[in-house]
Amino acid sequence: MSTVSVVILGAGTMGTNIALDLARAGYRPQVAEVDAEQRNRSREYARAGARFMHSNGLTDVNGEKLAERVTYAESPEQALPTAEWVIEVVPEDLAVKHRVLAEAEKLAPPTAVISSNTSSILPSKLAAAMQHPERFLATHFWNPAHLLPLVEVVPHAGTKQEVIDRVVKLLADAGKHPILLKREIAGFLGNRLAFALQREAMDLVAQGVATPEDIDAVAALGFGRRMPISGIFGTADLGGLDVYRAICDELFPELCSDRAAPAKLRELVEQGKLGVKSGAGWRIYSTAEIEKLQQALSEELVRHAQRDQADQTRGAAAQHTMILDSRNDASLRRMKQGQG
């Protein structure tokens, strides 16, 4: 059981999932939330999530006992004075985050590291209002945090190296797969890649080339099956870089280069067609279809999480879907030899 004191600021879905995942890893996270109703919702959500994890073999700890590892504070003032690692998980509003981070900086010990779970705001913008920005960086957990191992670690130019090293170790010790960016950039890695694909897909629909359903089928039945194994650059290496160079020269001039959200997306939003939560978006969804989609996604994420759980080395190259990782060749050799 880790003795590191982790305080999570915000008891929404993401904050609760992060707390639950850290609890599974042996930490005893404390969630600070001023809204009593939100605290209660978070408690119930954590209990349900803990039971789900236990029933699917993702933890040996009884669901109720796992949920009890997540404790709650009624205010940051209660939780922060003993914090060693503070994770801010409040809405993506710069002013709100500035206020919360300033409070965390004031109340937490000077030795505490402070991170934000932002997925879109540059760490330098968040650190601009802090008195000690050198102990701050972004840690972007991917949702659902208790099932997905990826965390993007994004320092700004003023972040101390010792803070970066400490957070990466804390995440690795928790069984996460931290990816450290060499410098900050809008959207970090995951969202830049995902939205480049979104932009092209929406443009193909706008051009009348294919339907959303057919484009999703291409993703699911084509490159989507290779990507978890070989990744992006590994796929290119397998295909041959001479071939890829020729395709780039031919294709790149034709790719979408829109600088803003496309007209069709704006139209859907204005019509209140927001996706699954409204029953319609690029597709129309019945209640049964929504449940089927959510269940299928949950089962797939659990399948991957179970494989990760079975890999007791937690740092082996075959873990977290990627087969090859030059940083972990020794671990891979040990696994092949039955030693890891």
State the CB neighbour count (10 A cutoff) for residue 213: 9
For 30, the enclosing helix (H) or strand (E) is: strand 30-32
DSSP H or E run through 140: strand 136-141
Residue 335 has pLDDT above 50, yes or no: no
Give per-residue pLDDT as tens, 234-257.
999 999 999 999 999 999 999 999
Is residue 169 located within the same domain as residue 311?
no
pLDDT 10s digits, 21-40: 999 999 999 999 999 999 99
pLDDT at 339: 39
Domain assignment present for residue 68? The answer is yes
Regarding whether 290 and 176 lie in a shared domain, the answer is: no
Residues 244, 236 contacting (CB under 8 angstroms)? yes
Residue 322: pLDDT band with limits 50, 70, 90: low
The answer as to whether 91 is a domain residue is yes
Mean pLDDT of the chain: 92
Judgement on whether residues 176 and 291 belong to the same structural domain of the protein = no
For residue 270, tell me if it sits in a domain.
Answer: no
20 lies in the same domain as 155: yes
Closest CA to 266 of 214, 223, 206, 306: 206
Q: Which residue has the tokens 């995951």?
A: 190
Q: Which backbone phi and psi does 165 adopt, to 5 degrees?
A: -60, -40
pLDDT at 323: 56
User: What's the mean pLDDT in 148-152?
Assistant: 97
Residue 311 banded pLDDT, cuts 50, 70, 90: confident
Dihedral pair phi/psi, residue 325, rounded to 5°: -155, 110
Q: What is the CATH number of the domain that holds 108?
A: 3.40.50.720
Residue with the bigger pLDDT between 151 and 28: it is 151
Are 54 and 175 found together in one domain? yes
Does residue 303 share a domain with residue 175? no
> Same domain for 313 and 176?
no
Report, as an integer, the average pLDDT of 141-166.
97
Number of domains into which the chain is organized = 2
Asked, for residue 319, whether it belongs to a domain, the answer is yes
**What's the CA gap between 51 and 57, in Å, rounded?**
10
The position carrying tokens 């280069």 is 257
Percentage of the chain lying above the pLDDT 70 cut = 91
Do 172 and 55 lie in a common domain? Answer: yes
Q: Assign 140 a pLDDT band (cuts: 50, 70, 90).
A: very high
Last residue of a domain, which of 147, 180, 213? 180
SS3 label, residue 28: coil
Mean pLDDT score, 269-296 = 97
Domain termination site, one of 138, 155, 180: 180
Q: How far is CA 40 from the centre of its chain?
A: 24
Within this chain, do residues 174 and 305 fall inside the same structural domain, yes or no? Answer: no
What is the per-residue pLDDT for 254? Answer: 97
The answer to whether residue 319 scores a pLDDT higher than 60 is no
User: What is the DSSP secondary structure assignment for residue 142, as one 8-state letter?
Assistant: P
Q: Is residue 252 part of a domain?
A: no
In this predicted model, what pLDDT tens digit does every residue of 91-135 receive, in sequence order?
A: 999 999 999 999 999 999 999 999 999 998 999 999 998 999 999
Phi-psi sector, 114: left (phi>0), alpha (psi -120 to 50), beta: beta
Task: Note whether 115 and 88 are within 8 A (CB).
Answer: yes
10 Å Cβ neighbour count for 154? 26
Q: What is the pLDDT of residue 334?
A: 42
3-state DSSP assignment of residue 160: coil
- Which residues face 179 on adjacent strands? 152
The answer to whether residue 233 sits within a structural domain is: no
Are residues 309 and 171 located together in one domain of the fold? no
Nearest 10 degrees: Cα torsion 312, 173, 123, 160: -140
- For 132, list phi and psi in degrees, rounded to 5: -130, 70
The answer to whether residue 241 sits within a structural domain is no
**Is the domain of 293 the same as that of 176?**
no
Last residue of a domain, one of 180, 203, 221: 180
| Domain that includes residue 66, residue range | 6-180
Comparing C-alpha atoms, which of 325, 167, 160 is closest to residue 233? 325
For residue 333 the two structure tokens come to 């050799």
